[in-house]
Structure 1
Amino acid sequence: MANSKKKQPHEEHPHGKAPIILYFIGLALAIIALLLTDNYLFLQNSLFSIATITAGYHVIIIEGLSETIENTKNKKNFTPNSHILMGLAAIGASLIGSFWEGTLLILIFSGAHFLEDYAEGRSKREMTKLMEMNPTTAKLIMPDGKTETVAVEDLKVGDQLQVLNGDQVPIDGTILSGSTSINESAINGESMPKEKTTGDSVYASTINGTGTFSMEVTKENKDTVFSKILQLVNQNQDNQTKAASIIQKFEPTYVTFVLVATSLIILLAPFLFDWTWSESIYKGLVLLVAASPCALAASTVSVTLSTTSNLAKKGVLSKGSTYLSQLADIDAIAFDKTGTLTRGKPEVTNYSFTDFVNEETIIDVIVALEKESNHPLANAILEKFEPKNKLDIEVTNQIGKGLTGNYEGKKYQIGKPTSFEKVSEEDKQLNKEWASEGNTVVYVAEDEKVIGLIALMDVPSEHAKATIAYFKKLGIHTTLITGDSEMTGQAVGKELGIDEVIANVMPADKSAIMDEQKQKYGVTAMVGDGVNDAPALVKADVGIAMGDGTDVAVDVSDLVLMQNNLSKLVNAHKISLRMKRVIWQNIIFSMIVVAFLIVVSLLGLTDIAISVLVHEGSTLIVILNGLRLLRTN
């Protein structure tokens, strides 16, 4: 990067609103000076000078001179930026009496700088909502069997806790007694609640279902899985190394060349061309003004503003132009499964009942049983089946066994396959087949004998397959990263045509996988929607969040796809590619203009006024070229 201490795209402006206020004061003074007649030449030039200083104070002195000195010390090599060049150009213009031109250069450059700051929205990534998800209290079981509410941070390994239905699990531990189902989506992104019983592990910040259980603390608060998520997000924020923009990469070499060339002209021209020292200094300053990169400074601003505006209208929010440039350069892209490539909730994909049962009656019974359950699978089943008759059945919901109820003298049960013994070989084979495709299968039994199977799955979203195909066609490596089982992950990956599937992944693993992907493939993007994706979203070169995902995922991401529509990601990538092409068009055009002005300046065919006029014309052209992206389809 041009500046090793360059503010990161999400870093707040260290001086608050003061630089903007000074800029507008300078702009106002410049306008007042322009309204004055030649009768007030001294006052006019004084106002121009003050305007130049106030409008350019932060950009030229603070970010130009100070950062040049700091970066030069850090790199032990002269590392100037265009801020310095623009400052010298303005000083040079004033020295040769062109006060307005010098002010105009600063107003354009500083204005472009502040516009880019605004467009990129440099603000720290909020972790407030993530912190709010971290439990603060727990119910500690005392020696006399009573419970006492204590701070989570005071818990020690070996403490015993009580967790009521609907509570957050306060800390990592192991169940001592009781059974329940727990929503662990905050940790592994899995939409299906996990059934837990004695001996099973539970994790802080996950949500307990309808059961009550006691547990033993196995980790201190700072070592829990959720705390590790917080630590990783913090760590990765502090160590971000987003690639420098095209201009930033090109900047030091260009500025150094101009400074050296100008100095050589001033020092050597009297000896080589028989110029007087006065002529040499004058033409050197004209050259400095001619070489000032007005169009170059504006070459990315209109493009990125147009691109971000266009994408916003299409439902893609960008937190900085740097990330759009990065998106155009990606070599690999990784996707979370649940809620990203899939719809985020289970749906009935298949079902089968034995021939000897009345299907209508069985469906009526199933609906009557499931409507008494608050399990996500129940909602999916109720959405699938429409009863002919509404039955009133008393339902018993047993953790580990499922739903049971009696109707017309028969006992009906719906539950997971391991709860049943009387299963035909045909049904076992069907269960195996559907499970291998990534389905969760539940059995329906009549008097202990299985009479039907229902397969449910978090199915791929509408645009998932086309999105994967688009990136693969461009030679971009695709990866599915999921906390689900290997079988489920592979089934989804196969259906969508994904290059690589990495399953059974915990949040800390996702962050490490991002490092591996970046090292193996190059610039890597990550698409996710959950808290568990946050470390990977931050670690990726481009973090992309689904708009309907958790607030935390949205907060730490670089791009946000509204309405969970992956086709918007394809559109964003196409526009980012075009943005990159237009930026290069502007850069090349700007440099041609600068080269032309340098040549005519050396030949004595131009003066300060013509140089500024050509500069402003070329600046207008690159801005208009960038605005074309507002019309991108």
Structure 2
Amino acid sequence: MSNWKTHIELIAAIVSGILIVIAYFLESSSTGSWFVLVYLLAFLIGGYAKAKYGFKKTIEDREPNVELLMVLAAIGASIIGYWTEGAILIFIFSLSGALETYTVNKSRKELSALMKIQPEEAWLLKDNVTTRVGIETLLPGDTLVVKPGERIPADGKLLTGHTVVDESTISGEAIPVSKNEADPLFASTVNLSGAITMEMTKPNSETLVQKIIDLVQSAQSEKPPSQQFVERFEGKYVKVVLVVFVLMLFLPHYLVGWDWNTTFYRAILLLVVASPCALVASIMPATLAAISNGAKSGIIFKGGVHLENLSAVRAIAFDKTGTLTRGRPEVTDFVLREGLNPEETMEKIAGIEMQSNHPLAKAITEYIQNQGIVPLANLHITDVPGNGLKTVIDGEEIRIGKPDFVNEADAEAFQNGLLTRLANEGKTVTFVRDSQGIAAAIALKDTIRENTKSTVKELQEAGLYCILLTGDNQKTAKIIAEESGVDAYVGSCMPGDKVKELKKLVAEYQYVAMTGDGINDAPALAIATTGIAMGEGTDVALETADVILMKNDLSRIIYSIRLARKMERIIKQNMFFSVGVIIVLLILNFMQSITIPYGVIGHEGSTILVILNGLRMLNRNV
């Protein structure tokens, strides 16, 4: 039943078309006036929905619209005896309306799919008993069991087990993601392999997939400025057409000598060919299709206005941490004093560092464990806040931390000034000291993403000026700028400084994008004409941004810009084409070189063509 209702417009158009064919043959066979009744039936079935909408909108808006023009044209054609032409007008008009509805439904398909894949039940683990419950009863802090092949019921983190998860519903990335303990899990994604337990961390109303649904719903209901302009223009334009129609009912008879039948016929045809149906349909189908395309590709646009702005962007600013870089430190250099046993030394270092929650300590521990080395256990550690860690192993004190914590002079002299060389490369250096002096130097750095350089290059080739805005010092900013290939950089940028820099860029380039992921990026994201947030960033950044990359993939930026530019090209093509067709048909009408059937085909055919052209936005090859 619901499927039948979805296609009601198309069914009405087809039935109307069949009745027109029957009426035409009845009229040709001279079987009386029965054909008139069949034509009237075709009028009612094909035109009811459009006529109802047209009159309702005219009363509500107090302005005439294109639907009203079409109904008046069909009625006028029938009055002067052109039943077939009037019926064909209604048929093609209803057919183009059905196609436009299909386009809207097609563009919303991804949203419907997201809503359908949301789990309704979950396995709740409580007091070592697993119970099947509705997800609406779950609360943050609940422990859930997810079996292989099941959808993850809520946002949370993995407690026990190891698995691979298909996150394509939220990121657009087809490659499954490996998950270990403490890794984040997202509702509606699919647990592919192992059985796991997880802790729910967010209410169902705040899950990532629910945010995506809310954002896409909001985006689809929001009309871009160009559409708002066309709709304002439509009301005024239709008034002009109606005034010209009234004048054409008698002026050509007196001014150019047309007979009354020709005068009335041409006035009716004017209503058909001058109607801006194609112009009105030039924008929204393409915009909705672009939003849908983005959703499939892991890009959330919060509205058509942001697509329009993005298509005009000429400069883009990047935050460093978590945007151009991975957002977490990684060991780049591990230098040991000569004569030490590497495995034994690493066992001690990992045993000490694994007891700290500091990001640098975690990175060092992970690096050593990845070498297949098991950290030394049962060590008693003393944490010296702001400096490092120390312990005693077999009567020997071992310190790990900053240069001044292990003796700054010794640290600077280690390996002939290694500290200076590594610091000049933008790296943070942690030292290890034992009873013999400096035992090791470990350099760490927040490295740039694999696709950072290629993405920046593609953006530059697309004509965008790229600049790095970071809170890091000038030396680090310079190094990251050189590695990523951006055109310029500004270091030591506090949130307020980023806003000032964005205002300068907007003044120079007018349309500027800002990409970031942290709370400190939110003010700059708001100032930019288009704010782009990395999907794994803070909630504040996600709320402030206009475009969200659901997977932290910088290459999605260039894809989103290409998508926006393609949409803008298609909209311009549609608008120029629709206006051009109206002008040509008007000229042909005044020259008496076109009849109502051809006027209908030209007018409604152009409407169908612009809708089909807008549907090209669903193609992911941009």
CA distance in 2 between counterparts of 1:343 and 1:266 reads: 71
Q: Please give the per-residue CA displacement for 1:415-474, whole angstroms capped at 9, x wherever unaligned.
A: 123434343343494334333433222222224943332221211111111111111223
Q: What is the rounded CA distance, in whole Å, between the counterparts of 2:225 and 2:592 in structure 1? A: 40
1:402 is aligned to 388
Q: CA deviation at 1:247?
A: 7.1
Q: Given the alignment of the two structures, is residue 416 of structure 1 paired with residue 402 of structure 2, yes or no?
A: yes
Match of 1:354 among 337, 358, 369: 337
1:76-95 equivalences in 2 (<5 Å): 84-95=65-76
* Structure 2: distance between partners of 1:413 and 1:49: 85
Aligned residues: 480
Q: What's the CA shift for 1:405?
A: 1.0
> Kindly tell me: are residues 255 and 362 of structure 1, through their superposed partners in 2, closer, same or farther at Cα, counting changes over 3 Å?
farther
CA positional deviation for 1:46: 5.8
Question: Does residue 244 of the first structure (1) align with residue 231 of the second (2)?
Answer: no
Q: Is the 8 A contact 2:96 2:608 kept in 1?
A: no
Q: Is 2:276 aligned against 1:293?
A: yes
In 2, the alpha carbon distance for the partners of 1:435 and 1:267 equals 88
Residue type of the alignment partner of 1:368? G
Q: 2:376 aligns with which of 386, 391, 400?
A: 391
- Which whole-Å CA distance do the structure 1 matches of 2:376 and 2:38 have between them? 95
User: Does 1:316 pair with 2:303?
Assistant: no
Q: Contact (CA 8 Å) 1:545, 1:559: kept in 2 or not?
A: yes
Aligned to 2:326: 343
**Secondary structure, aligned partner of 2:537:** coil
When residues 408 and 491 of structure 1 are mapped into structure 2, their CA distance, relative to the original with a 3 A threshold, is: same
State the match for 2:314 in structure 1. Answer: 331
- Do the aligned partners of residues 285 and 502 (structure 1) sit closer, same or farther apart at CA in structure 2, a change above 3 Å counting? farther
Match of 1:164 in 2: none
Q: In 1, are the aligned partners of 2:53 and 2:67 still within 8 Å (CA)?
A: no
Q: Distance in 2 between matches of 1:58 and 1:430?
A: 79
Helix, strand or coil for the counterpart of 1:423? helix
Identity of aligned residues (%): 35
Corresponding residue of 1:56: 54
Aligned ranges 1:360-509 → 2 under 5 Å: 360-385=343-368, 386=371, 388=373, 390-392=375-377, 393-424=379-410, 425-427=412-414, 429-447=417-435, 449-509=437-497
Paired residue type of 1:442: T
Q: Secondary structure at the match of 2:376?
A: coil
Pairwise CA distance, 1:495? 1.6
Residue 478 of structure 2 aligns to a residue whose secondary structure is helix
Matches within 5 A, 1:617-632: 617-629=605-617, 630=619, 632=621
Letter in 2 for 1:496: S
Q: Report the CA distance between 1:40 and its aligned residue.
A: 6.2
Please say if residues 90 and 106 of structure 1, whose CA atoms lie closer than 8 Å, have aligned partners that are also in contact: no
| Counterpart AA for 2:317 | A
**Using the alignment, how far apart are the partners of 2:259 and 2:471 within structure 1?**
76
Q: Could you say if the C-alpha distance between residues 620 and 44 of structure 1 is closer, same or farther in structure 2, counting changes exceeding 3 Å?
A: closer
Measure the CA separation in 2 of the matches of 1:285 and 1:23: 33
Map Cα deviations across residues 254-309 of structure 1 (whole Å, 9 max, x no partner).
76875676566456423321235665454233113102233333334444444444
Partners of 2:547 and 2:72 in 1: CA distance: 41
Task: Give the Cα separation in 2 of the matches to 1:480 and 1:335.
Answer: 5
> Deviations along 1:23-82, whole A, 9 cap, x unmatched?
9998887788777775366676566665334333565554xx45x7xxxxxxxxxxxxxx
Whether 1:606 and 2:600 are equivalent positions in the alignment is no
1:578 and 2:566 matched: yes
Give the structure 2 partner of residue 591 of structure 1: 579
For the structure 1 residues 40 and 625, does the alpha-carbon distance in structure 2 shift closer, same or farther, using more than 3 Å as the test? closer
Contact 1:27/1:55, CA 8 A, preserved across alignment: no
Amino acid at match of 1:87: L
Q: Which amino acid aligns with 2:399?
A: Q
How does the TM-score come out when normalised to structure 2?
0.66
Q: 2 CA distance for matches of 1:289 and 1:256?
A: 14
CA distance 1:436–1:388, shift in 2 (3 Å): same
Alignment deviations for residues 583-619 of structure 1 (CA, whole Å, 9 cap, x no partner): 3333333333222322222222333333222333333
TM-fit CA distance, 1:374: 1.6
Query: In structure 1, how many angstroms separate the alpha carbons of the residues matched to 2:73 and 2:57?
Result: 17
Task: Give the CA deviation at 1:632.
Answer: 1.8
**In structure 2, distance between residues paired with 1:250 and 1:432:** 65
- How far apart are the structure 2 equivalents of 1:302 and 1:357? 69
Normalised by the size of structure 1, how large is the TM-score? 0.65
| 2:273 equivalent to 1:272 | no
Q: Gaps (5+ residues) in structure 1?
A: 1-21, 69-82, 124-236
CA deviation profile, 1:182-211 (whole Å, cap 9, x unmatched):
xxxxxxxxxxxxxxxxxxxxxxxxxxxxxx
Tell me if the contact between 2:481 and 2:488 (Cα under 8 Å) persists in the aligned partners: yes
Q: State the alpha-carbon separation in 2 of the partners of residues 120 and 330 from structure 1.
A: 26
Unpaired runs of at least 5, structure 2: 24-34, 79-85, 112-218
